[in-house]
């Protein structure tokens, strides 16, 4: 039986693993983290993605985890609705299948874990190709050989560098973006709400299926230097960006100050 090694237990890795296993390959998936990475906000599944779910027989499981979003409303600084795009309208921002990335990752893992061997806390640190096989060394210094090694380890893939020798190139587009989770309040309903705040700040609040709201704050900045910030530094940056900006911004500031949220800024 041909042996395939895939790096990355996100979305692409388990889906590919499923199909390769079905085609008769023996599949191992390695994940660099100690556990599944279930972070993230909405992913909308459309077109080919939906066809793949159907063919795998898991469209129902994904639908059961729908975030419940009814559509998108643009609001002004007082929360007055200025425009509305319901889920089923032609140019809707909310798609038919909206799911939190973490829920999708869990569904795919549960669906494949009996047929695929998963190894967590594991990455390839060295690799060399031979005529008909690839030899890999893992981070615990053990080694093995496979018929094929496939990198499915996301946008910041380190396997890409091992395979092709070149690193990912980033182009700064003048915007910083952040994602965090806040408590649901009486103000919230099942509509996503988009607010264009002064000074090039865009704030988005979206419902999830966990009784919380997913916030996203995007802002223009000339500072193109991406520095890995500590969680407290991220919080401080966002508090400065959001203070006195109208709509629900002060609520988001209070929520950030309570330090209850996990934050991701890039
Ligand atoms: C935490 C997180 C949150 C995200 N949130 C959103 C979102 O809300 N909405 C959206 O549309 N997109 C989001 N994305 C962007 C994401 O790139 C795609 O939406 C989607 O997850 C891509 O799937 P993927 O399988 O290609 O990569 P990913 O989902 O990024 O999965 C890659 C996996 O590979 C693992 N990995 C990385 N390096 C190695 C290595 N060297 N060896 C082994 N494993 C490795 C990672 O830990 C990860 O589990 C998020 C990505 C991440 C990682």
Q: Does residue 82 have a pLDDT over 80?
A: yes
- CATH number of the domain enclosing 195: 3.30.9.30
Would 217 be classed as within a structural domain?
yes
Distance 236 CA to ligand 1 centre (A): 26
Would 150 be classed as within a structural domain?
yes
Ligand 1, atom nearest to 7 Cα: 43
Nearest CA to ligand 1 atom 4: 40
Task: Provide the pLDDT confidence category of residue 116 given band limits of 50, 70 and 90.
Answer: very high
* Same-domain status, 212 and 249: yes
* Same-domain status, 151 and 184: no
Q: Worst-scoring range by mean pLDDT, 9-23, 162-176, 179-193?
A: 162-176
* Same-domain status, 148 and 41: yes
Q: What is the ipTM of this complex?
A: 0.94
pLDDT of residue 88: 81
CB 137 within 8 A of CB 124: yes
Q: Does residue 265 have a pLDDT over 80?
A: no
Q: Check residues 4 and 170 and name the one with the higher pLDDT.
A: 4
Would 183 be classed as within a structural domain?
yes
Ligand 1, atom nearest to 37 Cα: 49
Q: Which of 119, 148, 164 is the last residue of a domain?
A: 164
* Same-domain status, 252 and 141: no
Would 62 be classed as within a structural domain?
no
Task: Provide the pLDDT confidence category of residue 171 given band limits of 50, 70 and 90.
Answer: confident
Q: Does residue 17 have a pLDDT over 70?
A: yes
pLDDT of residue 234: 83
Provide the number of structural domains found in the chain: 2
* Among 155, 149, 156, CA closest to 7: 149
* Same-domain status, 82 and 196: yes
* Same-domain status, 113 and 81: no
Range of the domain at 90: 71-96+171-265
Nearest CA to ligand 1 atom 51: 40
Q: Does residue 173 have a pLDDT over 90?
A: no
Share of the chain above pLDDT 70, in %: 97
* Same-domain status, 139 and 261: no
3-state per-residue secondary structure call for 31-97: ECCCCCCCCCCEEECCHHHHHHHHHHCCHHHHHHCECCCCEEEEECCCCCEEEEEECCCCCCCCCCC
Task: Provide the pLDDT confidence category of residue 218 given band limits of 50, 70 and 90.
Answer: very high
CB of 208 sitting under 6 A from ligand 1: no
CB of 204 sitting under 6 A from ligand 1: no
pLDDT of residue 155: 86
Q: Does residue 261 have a pLDDT over 70?
A: no
* Same-domain status, 31 and 8: yes
Distance 100 CA to ligand 1 centre (A): 13
- Cβ-in-10-Å burial (0-12, 13-18, 19+) of 68 comes to middle
- HSE, side-chain direction, 13 A CA sphere, residue 248: 28
pLDDT of residue 242: 95
Distance 251 CA to ligand 1 centre (A): 29
Instruction: Give 52-70 pLDDT, tens digit per residue.
Output: 999 999 999 999 999 999 9
pLDDT of residue 260: 62
pLDDT of residue 169: 78
Task: Provide the pLDDT confidence category of residue 252 given band limits of 50, 70 and 90.
Answer: very high
Would 65 be classed as within a structural domain?
no
Share of the chain above pLDDT 90, in %: 77
Mean of pLDDT over the chain: 93
* Same-domain status, 124 and 206: no
Q: Taking residues 167-191, report their average pLDDT.
A: 89
* Same-domain status, 254 and 122: no
* Same-domain status, 105 and 29: yes
* Same-domain status, 236 and 126: no
CB of 158 sitting under 6 A from ligand 1: yes
Ligand 1, atom nearest to 159 Cα: 41
Would 236 be classed as within a structural domain?
yes
Instruction: Give 229-249 pLDDT, tens digit per residue.
Output: 788 888 898 999 999 999 999
C-alpha to C-alpha distance for 199 and 183, rounded to whole angstroms:
26
């Amino acid at each position: 039986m041909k042996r395939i090694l895939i790096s990355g237990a996100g979305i692409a890795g388990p889906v590919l693993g499923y199909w390769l296993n079905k085609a008769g390959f023996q599949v191992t998936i390695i994940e660099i983290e100690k556990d599944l990475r279930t972070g993230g906000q909405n992913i909308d599944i459309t077109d080919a993605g939906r066809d793949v779910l159907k063919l795998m027989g898991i469209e129902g499981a994904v639908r059961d985890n729908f975030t419940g979003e009814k559509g998108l409303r643009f609001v002004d600084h007082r929360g007055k609705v200025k425009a509305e795009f319901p889920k089923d309208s032609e140019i809707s921002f909310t798609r038919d299948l909206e799911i939190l990335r973490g829920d999708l990752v869990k569904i795919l893992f549960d669906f494949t874990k009996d047929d695929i061997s998963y190894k967590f806390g594991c990455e390839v640190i060295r690799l060399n190709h031979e005529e008909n096989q690839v030899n890999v060394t893992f981070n615990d210094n053990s080694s093995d050989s496979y018929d094929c090694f496939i990198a499915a380890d996301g946008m910041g893939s380190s396997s890409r560098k091992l395979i092709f020798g070149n690193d990912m190139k980033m182009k700064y587009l003048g915007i910083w973006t952040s994602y965090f989770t806040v408590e649901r309040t009486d103000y919230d309903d099942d509509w996503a709400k988009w607010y264009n705040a002064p000074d090039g700040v865009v704030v988005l609040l979206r419902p999830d299926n966990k009784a919380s709201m997913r916030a996203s704050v995007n802002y223009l900045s000339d500072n193109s230097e991406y520095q890995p910030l500590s969680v407290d530094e991220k919080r401080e940056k966002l508090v400065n960006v959001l203070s006195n900006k109208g709509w629900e911004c002060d609520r988001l500031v209070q929520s950030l100050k309570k330090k209850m949220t996990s934050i991701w800024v890039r």
